[in-house]
Amino acid sequence: MTAQDRTGKALVKSSSPAGGRRTAPLRRSDIPRAGTAVRRAPGPGAVLGAVLDHGPVARSTVARLTGLSPAAVSGHSATLLGRGLLREERETTGPRGLGRPHVPVDIDTDRYLVAGAHVAVAHSTLSLLDLRGRVVAEDRRQHGSTDPATVLAGLAGRLPGLLDARGAGRRVLALGAATGHWVDPEAGVVVRHPQLGWRDVAMRDVLADATGLPVHVDSHSRALARAEQLVGQAATRESAVLLFVGAVVDAAFVTAGAVHQGPRFGAGSVAHLPVGTATAAGACVCGTSGCLQSEVSEPAMVRRATAEGLRVPTFPALLERALEGDRLALSLFLRRARHVGRAAAVLLDMFDPEVLVVVEPGAGRLPGCLDALRSEVGDRSWVCDDPERSVVPSSFTGSVLATAGAAVALGALYDDPLGPWPALPAVS
């Protein structure tokens, strides 16, 4: 049956995930050159990326950083200034007034914002970020219902109020939307999210119709990997694995500077990696037991806490108890860290990334959890000999979900700043 919204428009659209999108064989010329980093892509995107990293910065320095000619940097800077994405800072001179004065450029954070929508199993988060990826506003609500039309209409309906209250007169360029499991960014569809009961939900079209904004969607793990590349840890630029541990457990991979999607956009399904022992307590929806998700997901943590006599209604309540120093709650997070460490060791051996980013509140906030996770990696990985350097917590601990949705829009903007962004002046 096709879900319908109030106007009768179909909410679902087939993305034919297994239908073979690629009709012609892959040719050598189709393959991007290895080692092509995001920031080394020529053109305005490279200039904007260099200013994001180093601004306020002189155009001559941008030329040195990007390998572009000074004339090309001047041209691209003028275009980006014209679009309101860059601004000029006050003129400066060299030490003691020597040298030619120059006017540095920086990202203009005063004119535009990107909005974010993240749909979790129990709640949804609406957010506003400035063009440096800083969270300006965040609004989280529990789901009354997980019906896709209700959830998406709720998110869209809250945006004007949040913008009025916290936007400080800035305009929204685009809305990014993210959720767990399997998302097809090309079709703009949530292909499958078993815990929400969503299948082939046309998230992009529904949100675009409801908000009038350009909408970009992706999986939250890929979105957070892109956010790390843009405004998080520079070590993620070339190669990285991001492991997301929440109510949903999934992953994303960065290779040769790009976040890998896979021809069906299903890359990163690590929920059923075997990390536990076969016990009734570790029974998984897949029919086996001891899977990563059935051992460490938020519902599994709450079930385990209850079984051990700690009465907590929700995962945030369990985390709060651990932060307050409750020994049983803390021990459950340490156990979680060791199980996540086992999965991290497998992923480090499989991909040998520059860095593995763990998105998990224990590793980010609780004493001993990151050490326990790294220690498990040290014991189990055949490839990683320096877990201190190779395994790091998320740059966005405390604002992960606010960052995830908006990062999809921010990534699209930095990939293509001259694209058709309706809020921006046309490129002259």
For Zn ion, the binding residues (CB under 5 A) are 272, 284, 286, 291
In order, the DSSP letters of 371-419 are HHHHHHHHHH-SS-S-HHHHEEE-TTTTSHHHHHHHHHHHHHHHH-TTS
Question: In the bound complex, what is the minimum distance in angstroms from residue 335's beta carbon to Zn ion?
Answer: 18
Question: In the bound complex, what is the minimum distance in angstroms from residue 356's beta carbon to Zn ion?
Answer: 21
Q: Are 82 and 50 in contact (CB under 8 A)?
A: no
In angstroms, rounded to a whole number, what is the distance separating the alpha carbons of residues 95 and 252? 45
Question: In the bound complex, what is the minimum distance in angstroms from residue 272's beta carbon to Zn ion?
Answer: 4
Question: In the bound complex, what is the minimum distance in angstroms from residue 288's beta carbon to Zn ion?
Answer: 6
In angstroms, rounded to a whole number, what is the distance separating the alpha carbons of residues 57 and 247? 41
Structure tokens belonging to residue 253: 């991979």
Residue number, 302 or 413, with CB nearest to Zn ion: 302
Residue number, 278 or 286, with CB nearest to Zn ion: 286
CA torsion angle 55 58 60 62 (round to 10): 10
Question: In the bound complex, what is the minimum distance in angstroms from residue 120's beta carbon to Zn ion?
Answer: 20
Residue number, 257 or 266, with CB nearest to Zn ion: 266
In order, the DSSP letters of 49-106 are HHHHHH-SB-HHHHHHHH---HHHHHHHHHHHHHTTSEEE---B-SGGG-S--B--EE
Structure tokens belonging to residue 90: 């006050």
In angstroms, rounded to a whole number, what is the distance separating the alpha carbons of residues 121 and 258? 28
CA end-to-end distance (rounded Å), the chain? 48
Residue number, 79 or 294, with CB nearest to Zn ion: 294
Residue number, 72 or 284, with CB nearest to Zn ion: 284
Residue number, 165 or 286, with CB nearest to Zn ion: 286
Question: In the bound complex, what is the minimum distance in angstroms from residue 179's beta carbon to Zn ion?
Answer: 20
